[in-house]
Structure 1
Amino acid sequence: MRFTDEQLLLDFDKAELAGWDEERSASALRDDRAEWYRSQLAVAKFLTGWAERIPDGPRVPGDEPFIEGYIHGVREVTAILRQADLIPGGVLYEEWLA
């Protein structure tokens, strides 16, 4: 996958993201933050695929509730990355990193 392939990078269910903002995403893909955002979208895509394979993959240590919580945590991280929260101007970036 190429970082410039926005169709692949933005191929996820946006309705599942509480903080999804189409305008903010489009802006982040056009301006000087584009490489940061594309990179985060690629990481989110990888993490999503990995989380989907956890139940069928090698046994993850822990009981079922632990594994479900683990998968939920990974999904929360992907939501933060996809919502552009950790790039300059993003909510978490400004709150925690600036």
Structure 2
Amino acid sequence: MKEILSQTKKTDALFAPQDRSADDLGHEPLVSLNDCCRLTSLSRTAINRWRSLGMFPSAVALGEKRIAFVRSEVEQWVRDRIAERDRAALRKTETKSN
């Protein structure tokens, strides 16, 4: 039970409203690949596939085997997917009315 509560707190913290401003050095907040998966509801494999196609935000190398993503870029990518869905629905509606 303790483990479930711990995971719930981590997930809640991930989606909680956060200060979107850059830190004192001008850096934007980064998120791990696992957090990126939670933000997009995609698997690691799917994210890596999109990355290999150049259709996902570029990763920031933090070390030899560690990457992260700029949170605002991932959020924008999600907003872009939503906008594409809305445009497709609008086109479909316009086509039906003609």
TM-score higher than 0.5 here? no
How does the TM-score come out when normalised to structure 2?
0.33
How does the TM-score come out when normalised to structure 1?
0.33
Whichever structure has more strand as a proportion of its residues is 2
Greater relative contact order (Cα < 8 A, sep 6+): 1
